[in-house]
Amino acid sequence: MSSTLKHLVELAIAEDLDGGVDVTSVATIPESQISTAHYVTRSSGVVAGIEAAIETLKELGITDITVETTDGTKVTSGTTILKATGNTRALLLAERTSLNFLTHLSGIATETRKWVDLVAGTKCLIRDTRKTTPGWRTLEKAAVLAGGGVNHRMSLSDAALIKDNHIVAAGGVLKAFEAVRAKFPDLSIEIEVDNLEQLREVLSAKPDLVLLDNMTPAMCRDAVAIVAGSSKLEASGGITLANALEFAESGVDYLAIGALTHSAKVLDIGLDLVMEK
């Protein structure tokens, strides 16, 4: 288990207990009772977050776990994702945290798959952003991968992305680009442009990737012709499920979709308890 995941699990359990005990379970369930929890989908979607659910169970002493599916699997309502057998009080303490991981991350994977399916048949890839839940970035970006998308940079230190505010602060597109290249010569550099004139200007610096901000599909097609393969192109802003294919067919390499992580609806998953005889 990664240190990030371990911390999130510990934090969530501590938050649930708030220094006390699960008063309902302690009052109603014998201390030694054993049962089996079935994690079952209530709607169709793409599964993600199984590792997080497992580690939540293990953190509470549940080790008899059977995984019925894998991250990235498309499932229908009524699909059993995993089963866990152990102390009933521990299973119920794990319930909310493990389901929070599963439902949220599966929701991201499901949302990502919608976009990926929409642009199937084009060369365009669906890519996430840094619009992630604080502390959850690694998990949420893994869920994007499970849904068939690809990841943008994980952190600000992975690669450079020169946006409009950097350009303003540096005094121009080329000045900003040249400053980053001089300071970090080995890093990949992506630069944002608002119009085709800026695109032409920055191409002389040979950027690895150009972000076409809030351009129409027609402008994206023009940008593809201007670049002629000399740089990768990513479209961002104003992209919806209704127009995603039109953007993808323009010839850009990526669509940047913040909604994958910041607006995905959770996938409905429940826990059904079966008593051991």
Among residues 74, 130, 131, 221, which one is catalytic?
Answer: 131
Residue 246 in this model has a pLDDT that exceeds 90: yes
Question: 172 vs 1, which has greater pLDDT?
Answer: 172
pLDDT, tens digit, 9 for 90 and up, residues 45-98: 999 999 999 999 999 999 999 999 999 999 999 999 999 999 999 999 999 999
**CATH class in words for 3-110+264-275:** alpha beta
Q: Give all strands (DSSP E) within the chain, no chain letters.
A: 34-41, 45-46, 64-67, 74-75, 80-87, 125-127, 160-162, 189-193, 209-213, 232-236, 254-256, 269-275
Cross-strand bridge partners of residue 269? 41
194: annotated active-site residue? no
Q: Which of 163, 200, 206, 265 is catalytic?
A: 163
Pick the catalytic residue from 83, 96, 181, 221: 96
Kindly report, as residue ranges, where domains of CATH 3.90.1170.20 are found in the chain.
3-110+264-275
Listed in order, the ranges of the chain carrying CATH 3.20.20.70 are: 116-262
Catalytic member of 59, 128, 190, 213: 213
Residue 206 a catalytic site member: no
8 Å CB contact between 217 and 247: yes
User: What's the pTM value of the predicted model, to 2 decimals?
Assistant: 0.95
**Does the structural domain 116-262 have CATH classification 3.20.20.70?**
yes
- Is 276's pLDDT higher than 90? no
Mean pLDDT within 198-205? 91
pLDDT at position 250, please? 98
Q: Is 96 a catalytic residue?
A: yes
Supply the pLDDT for residue 25. Answer: 95
pLDDT tier at 275, thresholds 50, 70, 90:
confident
Q: 131 catalytic, yes or no?
A: yes
Average pLDDT over residues 156-177: 90
Concerning whether 175 is annotated as a catalytic residue, the answer is: no
